[in-house]
Amino acid sequence: MNYATIKNCDIANGPGVRVSLFVSGCTHKCKGCFNEIAWDFDYGEPFTQDTIDHILDLLEPSYVKGLTLLGGEPFEPQNQGAVLELLRQMKKKYPDKTVWAFSGYLFDRDMLGGRIGEGTVLQEYLSYLDVLVDGPFVESKKDLTLRFRGSSNQRIIDVKQSLRQGAVVLWQDWQGNERGLK
Ligand code: SF4
């Protein structure tokens, strides 16, 4: 996997101050995409153990609430293994920091429905997530007033609750009471 950018003080992509990883490669090709340059899987730098170590260092300060995965597409089958290794090491070192991810795939149809990736890898990957913002960017549904979303079709999903209940539980349901996420 390659990655495009790492931001160490991101306050736009999840609650609190976060470290954000923008991976390379995306097959969705949404019209009006904010990051078209990252569609290319070869864009940017190779993602290595040194990259993981760097991200772990950036996550260390107590004011950093967690990690956010964006792209590109962090759920493309060929990106899942590298991201999973990062998540394993991150949760081992910082079990209380949260993980947010943004994907053009749908949580229920594509991820739980087995349309992308290999079952056990994706299952473990999802087990580390707190929140997933899912669905492609749809230009006709673009809404600048939305929190953490580009278009109104996208959903902010509480992954742990959804996996527990076997149904999509929206994170918005928890607004004003964002337990464990701040
Ligand atoms: S999923 Fe995201 S990165 Fe991929 S084309 Fe759509 S908006 Fe761009």
For residues 104 and 15, give the distance between their C-alpha atoms in angstroms, rounded to a whole number.
Answer: 20
Q: What is the pLDDT of residues 29-44, one digit of tens each?
A: 999 998 899 999 999 9
Cβ count near 95 (within 10 Å): 7
**Closest C-alpha residue for ligand 1 atom 8:** 33
* Helix (H), strand (E) at residue 79: helix 77-93
Single pTM value for the model: 0.93
For residues 115 and 131, give the distance between their C-alpha atoms in angstroms, rounded to a whole number.
Answer: 20
Looking at residue 178, its pLDDT comes to 45
| 179 pLDDT higher than 80 | no
177 C-alpha to center of ligand 1: Å?
A: 30
Helix (H, G, I), strand (E, B) or coil at 109: helix
Query: Average pLDDT over the chain, rounded to whole?
Result: 93
- Mutational test site, ligand 1, from 29, 40, 102, 137, max ligand atoms within 8 Å of CB: 137
Q: What is the pLDDT of residues 121-167, one digit of tens each?
A: 999 999 999 999 999 999 999 999 998 999 999 999 999 999 999 99
Ligand 1 binding pocket includes 135 (Cβ within 6 Å): no
Q: What is the pLDDT of residues 66-114, one digit of tens each?
A: 999 999 999 999 999 999 999 999 999 999 999 999 999 999 999 999 8
* Atom number in ligand 1 closest to CA 36: 8
Cβ count near 78 (within 10 Å): 12
